Amino acid sequence: MTPTALSSPDNLDGAPGSSARARWQMVLVLGLGLGQSAVYAVVQLIDYATRPRGLAGQTTTLNPSLSDRQYVDLTYQLLDIVFSLAPVVLAAYFVWSARRPHLGRLGLVRPRAADAAWGLGLAIVIGAGGIGVYLGARALGFAVGVDAAGLQPYWWTVPVLLLSALRAALQEEPVVLGFLYDRLGGLGWNRWAIIATAALVRGSYHLYQGWGGFVGNVVMGLIFGWLYTRIRRLLPFVVAHFVIDAAVFVGYGWAASAFPALFGVAGH
């Protein structure tokens, strides 16, 4: 790894036009997943901000019920989780190497016990900071109320919420950290330009939460990005993301009941 780039342009595929191919690969992966979510999030932010009560008077629901019939809802939930990972599979296909580690360009190398320890430590630090940013933004009127557990209380609700947390970790980290860093590094981008760009991408698809969600996720992206360029291992960040989202999704009901004014969701 050179001081100015994360990988050499020759590492893209070694063929003429590889730079253009890499750009189109990024367009496809983002356009089918997180980039599409970012466009919708911008539109949703504008929608919320221009309503009579502004951002502070709006609520968005994560993990909403998709049917009033229990097992139809479960089917929809599982299908949504599976198909939302298709862009990650596409990214893995683009960077697959015939030599081991096959997905080394995504930072997916042989797991170590330290990966879990790093992930748990990051989850505590980032999770606590994220809650602080959210509550501060809510108090200032810069964030919408987030209902993180919109599912009905079925027997499968907690397992599905945990799968949803795992989906978010697998959907985001391999693309935003692994894939974008590899492709942009191969195009010769400066390390900090890559870190900043990826952090802004991460923040953009959280704009539906308001400016608090955007700022909190950009900061998270900067921290994750800087650490990733140091250790070049993806699993600690997948673990951290999963733990943060699992705690939020599963613990939301209690938090909303205990602090209804802060979380801004009536009836919880």
Q: Which amino acid is at 206?
A: H
pLDDT for res 64: 94
pLDDT per residue over 240-265, tens digit each? 999 999 999 998 776 666 666 555 55
Q: Are 227 and 217 in contact (CB under 8 A)?
A: no
Alpha helix stretches (DSSP H) within the chain: 18-31, 34-49, 70-83, 86-95, 113-140, 157-173, 180-186, 191-204, 211-231, 235-258, 260-263
190 dihedral zone (left: phi>0; alpha: psi -120 to 50; beta)? beta
For the cut 80, the answer to whether the pLDDT of residue 219 exceeds it is yes
Mean pLDDT of 18-47: 96
pLDDT at 191: 96
Percentage of the chain surpassing pLDDT 70?
Answer: 88
Determine contact, residues 16/10, Cβ cutoff 8 Å.
Answer: no
Contact 228, 237 (CB under 8 A): yes
- Indicate the pLDDT class of residue 16, thresholds 50, 70 and 90: very low
- Return the closest-CA partner of residue 263 out of 59, 25, 47: 59
What is residue 251's predicted lDDT score, i.e. its pLDDT?
86
* 214, amino acid identity: F
Q: To the nearest whole number, what is the mean pLDDT of the chain?
A: 90
Question: What spatial distance separates the first Cα and last Cα of the chain, rounded to whole Å?
Answer: 50
Q: Give pLDDT, residue 150.
A: 85
**Residue range 106-113: average pLDDT?**
94
Residues 145 and 212: their CA atoms lie apart, in Å, by 11
Q: For the beta carbon of residue 199, count every other beta carbon within 10 angstroms.
A: 21
> What is residue 135's predicted lDDT score, i.e. its pLDDT?
87
Does residue 233 register a pLDDT over 90? yes
Q: DSSP secondary-structure letter at 57?
A: G
Cα–Cα distance for residue pair 187/152, rounded to 1 Å: 47
Q: What is the DSSP letter of 147?
A: E
- Which range is most confident: 71-75, 131-135, 249-253, 255-259? 71-75
Separation between Cα atoms, residue 60 and residue 265, nearest integer Å: 9
pLDDT tens across 146-180, in order?
888 789 999 999 999 999 999 999 999 999 999 99
What are the structural domain ranges in the chain? 16-98+112-263
Amino acid 101: pLDDT: 94
pTM for this entry: 0.89
CA distance 41 to 35: 10
| pLDDT at residue 97 greater than cutoff 60 | yes
Res 46 pLDDT > 60: yes
